[in-house]
Structure formats: C-alpha cells, structure tokens
C-alpha cells in the first residue's frame, strides 16, 4: 500500500506573528519556518502504518517556493521514502492545492492520502474535503484514531458531541487531529540519510493545473489588544458597567 502525505511550510508555531508595515500580509523575511504541526502528525501516522507492515511506501508532497524542499527533507528524515515538490512562487489557495494533489494522485495511485486537518497559517480546513470531492473518494476528517485493514479503514473522529467512529473503503482521504499521535523527532543518522533520498520536481504547468487565485486580500491587521481585568465591589457596579460600558445588557 502506498501512502501519500501532504506537508506545508509555515511560520513556526513558536514565532510571534508580525504584520507587515503596509498591511499586505504577515512578515516572513528572516522568520523561522517549519512543517505545519498537523502535517507532522500525518507523516507520523504514515510511518507507523509502514512500521506495522500495512504500508510499503510513503510519498511526501509539498507545494511552493524552493524552500519547501526543506520541509520535504524533514518528512524524509522522519521516515518518508521519497518526496515530490511542486515548484511555484504563487500563493496557493486550498482549491489550487487540492487540484494539484489530485493531479499527483492520478500519477502516483496511492491507496491512502493523509493531510493535516488545517494549516496554522490560514486555518482554512478545506483542502482535505475539497480533494476528496475532486477525487470522489471517501473522506474521514479530524481523525484521532486509525485502524487500517486491507481494503478499508476504521477511523475515530473528533466531533462537537464527542467521538464518532466510521468505516471507509480504500482509497480514501484522511485528515489528522491533534490526538492521533505524537510526532517523533528525526535522528541525526536519518537526517543524513534524508539528504540522499529522491525529491522529484514538477510545476503546476506540467500538471496542467490552473492555480490562479480567486481571493484578494485587501488588508491584514493585528487584533485589538485585550484590556486588563478589573475587580468590582458589588453586583450593582457590575451591572452598571455591563449596561453603560460594555453595552451588553
């Protein structure tokens, strides 16, 4: 069984985000970048499937500028077998990513596609669902547990009311939630081995995919800073402030 995992290069989750002076986006120059945390979980789950003998090959795919190859190398160091880089400097919307993945899947023919449920830079939570729709494959989103069989998978999903267990036929698309696993750290020997693993390069044009954006960002601004709390002396004072300052009653 071949497993395809999508990995995205994002600003590291420990970095404090700064808005550009012209408010056209967030500052990325000289900012630490890393693999999207939900995608790390996806890579880890694919590796565990291979270690359990249920997967034979793991292909890591990333899309974007040349620096995305570093993200692929991270996946290779964790245990992926090879990588595919779709080279483009264009900002990719979720639909464009889904279309590119569909084109790659048509060539690679994986039995399972694993994605992080969302990227921490845009929080769209759309690519997995769009990809499943384009492929007309079953989907299992927000997975917190996976039991894989020869021709199907049983997935426990995190939903608003608790946990939901579903069964999907393969091939299928799955998106990972936080509690699915704890990603491993890449060891130094594996980091050295990853430098020798193959990364195939392609472009949206070679895949015959139109990635023209459909959205225009007008302005990016920081959220308003929260004011500090204040202790009040009585219920009457609280009600007065709710009425006249907060204007919620």
Say if residue 171 is preceded by a cis peptide, omega within 30 of 0: yes
Residue 28: beta bridge partners? Answer: none
Q: Bigger pLDDT: 198 or 58?
A: 58
- pLDDT of 11: 94
pTM of the model as a whole: 0.86
Residue 132 pLDDT greater than 90, yes or no = yes
Q: What is the pLDDT of residues 86-112, one digit of tens each?
A: 999 998 999 999 999 999 999 999 999
Domains, the chain, ordered by start? 2-221 (3.40.50.620)
Lowest mean pLDDT among 177-186, 203-212, 240-249: 240-249
Structure tokens given for 188: 């130094």
Kindly report the average pLDDT of the chain as a whole number.
93
CB contact at 8 A, 127 and 94:
yes
- pLDDT confidence of 137, banded at 50, 70, 90? very high
Rounded CA separation 10/38 (Å): 11
Residue that the structure tokens 């630490």 belong to: 32
HSE, side-chain direction, 13 A CA sphere, residue 143: 30
CB 116 within 8 A of CB 10: no
Please choose, from the candidates 55, 200, 70, 178, the residue with its C-alpha nearest in 3D space to the C-alpha of residue 113.
55
70-to-74, 156, 194 alpha-carbon distances in Å: 6, 32, 10
pLDDT score recorded for residue 224: 83
Cα separation, 167 vs 190, in Å, equals 34
Residue 88 near residue 211 (C-beta atoms within 8 A)? yes
Q: pLDDT at position 77, please? A: 96
Closest CA to 42 of 92, 87, 88, 79: 79
Query: What percentage of residues in the chain have a pLDDT greater than 90?
Result: 76
Query: Would you say residue 248 has pLDDT above 80?
Result: no
Output the pLDDT for position 244: 83
């Amino acid at each position: 069984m071949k497993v395809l995992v999508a990995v995205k290069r994002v600003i590291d989750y420990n970095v404090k985000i700064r808005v550009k002076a012209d408010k056209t986006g967030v500052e990325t120059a000289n900012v630490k970048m890393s693999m999207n945390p939900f995608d790390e979980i996806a890579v880890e789950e694919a590796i565990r499937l291979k270690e359990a003998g249920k997967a034979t090959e793991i292909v890591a795919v990333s899309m974007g500028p040349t620096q995305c190859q570093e993200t692929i190398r991270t996946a290779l160091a964790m245990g992926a077998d090879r990588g595919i880089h779709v080279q483009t400097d264009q900002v990719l919307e979720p639909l464009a990513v889904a279309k590119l993945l569909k084109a790659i899947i048509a060539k690679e023919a994986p039995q399972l596609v694993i994605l992080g449920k969302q990227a921490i830079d845009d929080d769209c939570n759309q690519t997995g669902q769009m990809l499943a729709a384009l492929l007309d494959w079953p989907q299992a989103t927000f997975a917190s547990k996976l039991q894989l069989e020869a021709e199907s998978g049983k997935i426990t999903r995190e939903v608003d009311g608790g946990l939901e267990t579903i069964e999907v036929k393969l091939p299928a698309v799955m998106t990972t939630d936080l509690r699915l696993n704890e990603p491993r750290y890449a060891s130094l020997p594996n980091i050295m081995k990853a430098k020798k693993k193959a990364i195939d390069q392609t472009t949206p044009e070679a895949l015959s995919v139109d990635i023209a954006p459909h959205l225009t960002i007008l302005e990016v601004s920081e959220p308003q800073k929260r004011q500090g709390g204040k202790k009040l002396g009585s219920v009457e004072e609280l009600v007065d402030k709710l009425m006249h300052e907060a204007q919620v009653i």
